[in-house]
């Protein structure tokens, strides 16, 4: 298992820019799943999982004629098509290239691997509605910031995957740890009422947001634990590890970057937060 990589090496502004650029790059890497993988009820054919050995967010395997996975390497700001062992069959650094150039490259490489033309080009198949604004959306090239900013984003995903997989192991009701390209968070869902529809089932979301926008958004990364359904007029318990409660717009426990990146034991602090927040969420759901 990978080891924790210390966080906090990059200032907030370049980190934010790197995170936004990678969010848009993820839309390119997610497009093959939408066209080439079997549709899933939850849309997970478009999602990624973190591959620690490859240092990449990777999709499911397209099996024929030669198995491959679409991937995004955050640290390198590159698109890749990986074989089953994680080696690159093809890779494109995005620095200096546009969003459309990335789609065109991926379309060409997929057609080479498949030995046929795609039913339609990979031209922004994933909806951009609600994605954070950035100049790359309208034709600006990727990059223009220090490479270390992208490396720092990769550290967040690697560290979060390490802890969220531990949560998955400890909770049999937990889903696989996935990164959802539209929100760009990495998360698992603890479903407490299996077989019920998602709106009715009690559940606990546990994840990492690399940052979000909006009037009540948090631009810096944070870990979160969200109970569903939201309890009515809850008495919110205290949280370990420096966590706090978000109550505006949505209810959930949060641990913001600023609350732990300066600590001596970052991993232990985040783990303590997650454990206490999951336990608190279970208690709150019982009062909903």
Mean pLDDT of all residues belonging to the chain: 93
Q: How far is CA 280 from CA 154, 165, 174, 177, in A?
A: 29, 20, 17, 21
Question: Model confidence over 198-209: pLDDT tens digits?
Answer: 777 899 999 999
Beta strands in 74-182 (DSSP E): 78-82, 88-93, 178-180
Share of the chain above pLDDT 90, in %: 80
Q: By mean pLDDT, which of 118-132, 141-155, 191-205 is the weakest?
A: 118-132
- 130 pLDDT above the threshold of 70: yes
By residue count, the chain amounts to 288
Q: Does the pLDDT value for residue 159 go beyond 80?
A: yes
H/E element holding 154? helix 147-170
CB 27 within 8 A of CB 149: no
3-state secondary structure of 122: coil
Residue 60 CA to residue 47 CA, distance in Å, equals 8
Q: What is the rounded distance in angstroms from the CA atom of residue 209 to the CA atom of residue 224?
A: 8
Tell which residue, 243, 226, 239, has the closest CA to residue 288: 226
State phi, psi for 105 to the nearest 5 degrees: -60, -45
Task: Supply φ then ψ for residue 62, to 5 degrees.
Answer: -85, 120
What is the per-residue pLDDT for 119? 82
Q: Where are the domains of the chain?
A: 12-138, 183-286
pTM of the model: 0.94
């Amino acid at each position: 298992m990978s080891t924790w990589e210390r966080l906090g090496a990059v200032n907030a502004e370049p980190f934010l820019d790197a995170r936004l650029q990678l969010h848009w790059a993820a839309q390119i890497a997610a497009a093959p799943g939408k066209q080439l993988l079997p549709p899933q009820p939850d849309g997970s054919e478009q999602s990624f999982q973190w591959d620690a050995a490859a240092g990449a967010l990777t999709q499911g395997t397209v099996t024929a004629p030669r198995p491959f996975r679409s991937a995004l390497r955050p640290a390198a700001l590159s698109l890749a098509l990986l074989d089953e062992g994680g080696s690159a069959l093809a890779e494109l650094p995005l620095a200096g290239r546009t969003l459309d150039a990335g789609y065109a490259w991926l379309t060409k490489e997929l057609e080479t691997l498949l030995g046929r033309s795609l039913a339609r080009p990979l031209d922004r198949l994933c909806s951009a509605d609600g994605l954070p604004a950035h100049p790359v959306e309208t034709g600006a090239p990727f990059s223009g910031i220090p490479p270390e900013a992208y490396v720092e984003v990769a550290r967040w995903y690697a560290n979060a995957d390490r802890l969220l997989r531990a949560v998955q192991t400890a909770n049999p009701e937990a889903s696989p740890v996935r990164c959802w390209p539209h929100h760009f968070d990495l998360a698992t869902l603890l479903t407490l009422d299996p077989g019920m529809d998602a709106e009715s089932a009690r559940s606990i979301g546990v994840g990492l947001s690399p940052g979000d926008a909006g009037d009540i958004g948090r631009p810096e990364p944070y870990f979160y634990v969200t109970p569903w359904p939201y309890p009515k007029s809850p008495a919110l318990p205290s949280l370990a590890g420096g966590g706090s409660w978000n109550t505006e717009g949505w209810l959930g426990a949060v641990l913001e970057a600023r609350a732990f990146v300066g600590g001596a034991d970052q991993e232990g602090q985040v783990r303590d937060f997650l454990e206490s927040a999951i336990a608190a969420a279970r208690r709150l759901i019982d009062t909903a």
